Chains A and B, each alone.
Chain A
């Protein structure tokens, strides 16, 4: 709590900048229902024109509500909102000055790209020459010119996002509100989006960008950190990160397994937060002066602590009071996985020349890999590159055209039921039965996997305790916060003590604290010998993986540990590439190769 006081407080709303604020909010309160809890609790802030402001905060912090109130989609319960000096609820021409992109992009999926653009151009009164020009500009800008006839529903996630942005940009609004545009989008698309937004800001547009990705927020001019309907901190990322100076460390040159090291490091009272970063463990201290004793961490004889530059995420976690601990209660209730003797422990999951064709289109092209017992194997790749297809074949949801998808040596094509009993699956967006209560979901998934009677009751009780679901058991899953849904989904997938766990974008849209908690559980499972295969767009998450397979254009173009991949892309211009740099570099290099062969 002491650290929080050291951070810059939100500036007084009574003192807008000399040129006037683009967005000004005073004492804003928003409640849903007459006596519901406040979704926005006395918010006061202003945003300077021509800046990019990041709006960050955990799930349910009130980011979407604030953006909707600014867009005039929700009426404030009390307080005032002024955009360009006008009230967004009042009738007037203000709407033409505001561009708003909702979370689902607001596209009509059964309309083509051009039809979507036409619709929004007409609605935003963009006509004549201006219209022709802005279409040209937008299509070039978003690189969608080749796809104008394609239905929006058939676009990849990244393309949808760009089209959504293009539609909200028509008519050159002065204020642009973006609600989590980066969710479910690959790093390449996110980088392009960032480039586009940066260009717009240079032209004088004011941009408010809500995001769960702290690395994105780090690039903003200004940041507002929200929690529980309040603005917790405001200021430039640099100012926020500056307060963390000296508290971010790398624990490097480990000889013990990094997962174990992280677990032990998080037990140290001096450590506020920690994550795995490739071969290293990244720690954030409670106090710059107090380093943890390396003895109990048992990182190995050569292990050292090296100070590194703080990240915005460190400040975020610190402001929210630190991350979760490194011990997962799951460890206590998970059995050590013992594989059948005649099974090769080096190939618990195996893809042999896995190929899938949809008509003429080859989604996955002769992909082969083997995942040993207890490994966390990540599948990465841009949207639409064949990552999901490969993943789905491996867990038996799609039948391969050619090749074999083996799980524990069993071909899912021939004896699916036997193999399925031994694998756990957590779908994208935590596919739970939203109409059922948490307990009913647990009962259903355990029952479907054959648990019954006392064994079932016991297992459910264990899971309730391990995931701390007690207070939520009789709530409908629909009404649960996102983080709890994720916990519940993981609990459901683990009921039958699977030896293999498939995770499809498990932390998409989830805030960093919930993400850490999730990976604590995954680490515990891996330590018990559970083999885990995960797809992700999240580079942080990729760092947790033991090995990564990068899929592009249906092919496995790189395979190795995160550090191997990073090292392979080291160049003079970029001597210490991040995971994201490596990702983009590898894909661009492969594309360049393709272009050479087929000019």
Chain B
């Protein structure tokens, strides 16, 4: 008996395909959710603030203060809300209606005229959301500098600091957060299809008793494994194409790499994710437990530890070490490079190597745990 018969493999794959097509929940997870998630990451999660609500108390109505007020309002970063007193606006901030309050003191103009550096603008932010608070602080500071510069030019004074920093972004020049969030979220979507969906499939056969019937036929272990991998690999690739299309056509995210590189990396990544899901499914033999384990071991790390939103280098050493075991780490990085930078072979090759090793690990473990008996 051959270890691999093309006919048996085809029959098993066909069966798996019918099951995918006929289960609305797998279609939902494979096609609808990726698009929804892509849009969520593309539009809803906007790390570039644009409409934060800022309170402004103008105790001084002198020309300099008014000019500062105009700079704030013209920036487009804030929805500025003028208030009668600091106390009233702070109360509003305590209720979460404002992200920050800017106070221009009554003696602002006078002190400014003195030129001793004593003129102060107070910025109070809502620190309960540190990230937003940082946004508010730094944007106001940027605007303050803008205002200062304008004043310097207007008044022709030597108030320009001596070091000028010119910054520029290497890739993604407009620094739109969508451009890196969307490629990163594709890694999350692929994890869902690869690990979560497959974590259900072997366990389902055990629960429904079909595994027993399959094992009683001449099916070999290799055929069994491949028949679980290939259809979901195809599904993952279709979803990948869908994601690529949505990202590039609908969301205007640039894609600068080569499709071949994307294909190779996606294949390797799906190998890891599928291996992970199948392993859990094979070991647990119970859909609920396998899916829960997949959620904790694959999905959440792909969000949190892949470096796609949260910087890996900022994590403590132990966690950083852990990320080397997360396939999404390699994939999210590769995707960000492929989308925004292009085919940078050494970088991608290193990621591909990481993925290949993890693929071998997971598929190997799965093959070890897959038996030809019911025990």
Contacts and interface: CB of A to CB of B under 8 A. Distances in A.
**Is A–B contact present in the complex under a CB 8 A cutoff?**
yes
Interface of A: 32, 68, 71-75, 89, 91-93, 95-96, 98, 100-111, 115, 118-125, 127, 151, 167-168
Interface stretch (B127-135, B209-217, B339-347): B209-217
B369 interface: no
B23 interface: yes
18 contacts: A72-B215, A72-B373, A73-B216, A74-B375, A75-B375, A89-B373, A93-B1, A102-B216, A106-B209, A106-B210, A106-B212, A108-B18, A110-B19, A119-B14, A121-B11, A123-B218, A123-B219, A125-B218
Contact of A110 (B22, B209, B212): B22
B330 to A, nearest CB: 35
Given A122-B7, A125-B218, A103 B1 contact: no
A47 B267 CA distance: 52
Interface in B1-30: 1, 5, 7-8, 10-12, 14-15, 18-19, 22-23
B375 A111 contact: no
Given A100-B213, A104-B209, A106-B209, A95 B218 contact: yes
B374 interface: yes
Contact of A106 (B7, B22, B214, B218): B214
B228 to A, nearest CB: 14
B14 A72 contact: no
A68 B218 contact: no
B23 A123 contact: no
B208 interface: yes
Given A106-B209, A115-B18, A98 B12 contact: no
Interface of B: 1, 5, 7-8, 10-12, 14-15, 18-19, 22-23, 208-210, 212-219, 372-375
A122 B5 CA distance: 10
A125 B217 CA distance: 10
Contacts of B374: 68, 73-74
A104 B208 contact: yes
Contacts of A125: 5, 7-8, 218
Given A74-B373, A93-B1, A124-B218, A108 B19 contact: yes
Nearest to B372: A72
A119 B19 contact: no
Contact of B213 (A93, A121, A167): A167
A91 B23 contact: no
Given A32-B375, A106-B210, A92 B1 contact: yes
Nearest to B15: A119
A151 B371 CA distance: 29
B18 A103 contact: no
A71 B210 CA distance: 15
Nearest to B209: A104
Nearest to B205: A108
B218 A75 contact: no
A95 B216 contact: yes
A72 B11 CA distance: 22
Nearest to A71: B216
Given A74-B373, A106-B209, A111 B19 contact: yes
A102 B375 contact: no
Nearest to B10: A122
Most chain B CB inside 10 Å of its own CB: which residue of A104, A106, A121: A106
A127 B19 CA distance: 24
Contacts of B375: 32, 74-75
B210 A108 contact: yes
Contacts of A75: 373, 375
B210 A123 contact: no
A345 to B, nearest CB: 46
Give the 5 A-B CB pairs with smallest separation, nearest first.
Answer: A106-B213, A122-B11, A104-B209, A100-B216, A123-B217
A246 B102 CA distance: 107
Contact of A73 (B8, B10, B15, B373): B373
A91 B1 contact: yes
Nearest to A109: B208
B11 A110 contact: no
B12 A119 contact: yes
B218 A73 contact: no
Contacts of A119: 11-12, 14-15
Given A73-B373, A106-B209, A115-B15, A120 B22 contact: no
Contacts of A110: 18-19, 22-23
Contacts of A89: 373
A168 B214 CA distance: 10
A121 B10 CA distance: 12
A44 B371 CA distance: 27
Contacts of A104: 208-210, 212
Contacts of A121: 11
A109 B1 CA distance: 29
A39 B373 CA distance: 16
A310 B325 CA distance: 70
Contacts of B373: 72-75, 89
B216 A98 contact: yes
A139 to B, nearest CB: 19
Contacts of B208: 104, 109
Contacts of A73: 212, 215-216, 373-374
Contacts of B218: 93, 95-96, 123-125
A102 B212 contact: yes
B368 to A, nearest CB: 17
A585 B19 CA distance: 41
A211 to B, nearest CB: 18
Contacts of B372: 72
Contact of B15 (A91, A93, A111): A111
A465 to B, nearest CB: 36
A95 B213 CA distance: 12
Contact of B210 (A91, A107, A115): A107
Contacts of A74: 373-375
B209 A102 contact: yes
Nearest to B18: A111
A127 B7 CA distance: 10
A146 B210 CA distance: 24
Contacts of B209: 102-106
Contacts of B217: 95, 120, 123-124
A172 B14 CA distance: 23
A593 B375 CA distance: 53
Contacts of B5: 125
A92 B372 CA distance: 13
Contacts of A92: 1
A321 B216 CA distance: 36
Given A104-B208, A108-B18, A111-B19, 5 more contacts: A72-B215, A91-B1, A119-B14, A122-B10, A123-B11
